[in-house]
Structure 1
């Protein structure tokens, strides 16, 4: 049996455990999963619907919010339906092709979302530091090009991950202690040398996060400098209020993602169900909160939502 478990095998299926150690509670765990997922879909589709219907919202800022909503929908949908199948029907098997596809799609969307957050920071910088040139610097066409650039960057960065893994031999024991095919969790199951794919994943995450957070910090550094030059306290408050929604979204996006990533790679003392819980928080709660934050913090959008939801 030991020899069998160490024997490499061809492409087959993997088994997703769900939440390790809490298998007996999968039915109960599925309740918040399904509720958060439904609220996330309703909120983000409402945002897309309102922006699409209202001509006055066809502005760079709201186009970026729509891009963020699309990444939220894609991110949660790439994981949650399969997770619910595990919780409700015990359908834990996933083919190797399906696993690598899910991994590629999920990680690509995460990198795209990071690019969208960087573009949002640049949008706020232009709005505060160069308000008179805002409409000429940030046009809808330019925002679309930046979105396309973010998509191309994400695909080029993430594509090598499943390609490296597809070339590795996997042992007969193909149990993934997770609800989805996380890159490192899959790499750990390989019987071969997975150093290259592990290092590539580590370097890629480090470069993307450091680069994007540096650009965001630079934008807000310039914003703070411009705000401090304004003598009026009311103008201070108004300028900072335009950044509140983006700052909140940025914090709830990067903080759990970074913490989950670091614990997955470097903290061996943390149990598997804690790792999975942190990942679920990022994939469930963040997509649910983003449309709520923009609905509460952005008066123009809030008024338009009220126009449709409160209509008799």
Structure 2
């Protein structure tokens, strides 16, 4: 049970959390700001460019590319909600964060993870219908279906994640409120509470089996059916087209789930590793998918690659014409 506030405890609105950075690396952690700045710029550029390209090019106005746009927007929110505080903490050595801002970030981080998983489910379902039921594709995967599915998964994500900041906010905080992390990660924050509950200690680990495992199962079943149908195709061209279309989705699926799995394993074994590894891994697993997803789609999606190259040629041609006119 959480005890009542005593004389040395304060309301959760009367103090600030201090993000102290990476334990054991305080003297050198500012050097890590440089790779994080590069990651931020790459992720920001990629996740802004992909939706813009899809919006501009009418050839990409298809459900598959709509899902890619949604994933890019989710990845962009991941970068904007985490990286600014990470960079400030690394550069200045520590950062004061108001409780409400900390709890908001605490909500955003797992919400983004659950939404990424939801979008991957929709993408797998989209490819399943396209490959296994191509004649019914246009009647099943409609714009209405996309909007309804997106709203449904958004509500699911909010319901799954909202207890995390609520449970953290209900805990009493007193004395030292220094959070040994570079962002407001749930476990790091509740470690500075005066008292904790069994629910607050373990709820963070409940989300993955309740949300991640069912999503991963649905994705696995979808691609299993796709592989079965694909192997029955006699046309080599059809096989190549199916593999080309699905390979980018499978790559992104592997990136997201392997990052989450790695972070979970490191979190559970934090007593057997350097103290800076758990907080560092909690940020890296958030940043790997947003940074690499646009590159994966740019490399593996022929239509997106073709559109990007076309716009680069147009820009190059325009600049060349201006130079000729100038001289």
Could you say which TM-score interval applies, normalised by the shorter chain? Answer: over 0.9
Partner of 1:310: 313
Q: For residues 254-265 of structure 1, what are the structure 2 equivalents within 5 Å? A: 254-265=257-268
Q: What CA distance in whole angstroms lies between the structure 1 residues aligned with 2:23 and 2:134?
A: 52
Q: What CA distance in whole angstroms lies between the structure 2 residues aligned with 1:80 and 1:114?
A: 21
Q: For residues 10-25 of structure 1, what are the structure 2 equivalents within 5 Å? A: 10-11=11-12, 12-25=15-28
In structure 1, which of residues 286, 289, 294 is the aligned counterpart of residue 297 of structure 2? 294
Matched, 1:210 2:216: no
Task: Measure how far apart 1:80 and its partner are.
Answer: 0.6
The 4+ residue runs of structure 1 with deviation greater than 4 A are: none
Matched, 1:144 2:179: no
Q: What CA distance in whole angstroms lies between the structure 2 residues aligned with 1:46 and 1:262?
A: 33
Task: Measure how far apart 1:110 and its partner are.
Answer: 1.4
Contact 1:15/1:175 (8 A) holds in 2: yes
Q: Give 3-state SS (helix, strand or coil) of 1:310's partner.
A: helix
**Structure of greater Rg:** 2
Q: Give 3-state SS (helix, strand or coil) of 1:237's partner.
A: helix
Matched, 1:97 2:100: yes
Q: Give 3-state SS (helix, strand or coil) of 1:93's partner.
A: strand
Q: Give 3-state SS (helix, strand or coil) of 2:22's partner.
A: coil
Task: Measure how far apart 1:183 and its partner are.
Answer: 1.4
Partner of 2:188: 185
Matched, 1:29 2:6: no
Q: What CA distance in whole angstroms lies between the structure 2 residues aligned with 1:103 and 1:242?
A: 35
Q: For residues 1-312 of structure 1, what are the structure 2 equivalents within 5 Å? A: 7-11=8-12, 12-311=15-314, 312=317
Once structures 1 and 2 are overlaid, which stretch shifts more, 11-20 or 229-238? 229-238
Q: What CA distance in whole angstroms lies between the structure 1 residues aligned with 2:281 and 2:195?
A: 29
Q: What CA distance in whole angstroms lies between the structure 2 residues aligned with 1:91 and 1:201?
A: 25
Deviations 1:52-86 (A, max 9, x none): 11122111001100011011110111111111111
Contact 1:103/1:181 (8 A) holds in 2: yes
Contact 2:190/2:196 (8 A) holds in 1: no
Q: Quote the RMSD (CA, aligned, Å).
A: 1.7
TM-score by structure 2 length? 0.89
Q: Give structure 2 stretches of 5+ with no counterpart.
A: 1-6, 318-327
Once structures 1 and 2 are overlaid, which stretch shifts more, 68-77 or 6-15? 6-15
Q: Give 3-state SS (helix, strand or coil) of 2:17's partner.
A: strand
Task: Measure how far apart 1:9 and its partner are.
Answer: 3.4
Aligned residue-pair number: 307
Task: Measure how far apart 1:98 and its partner are.
Answer: 1.1
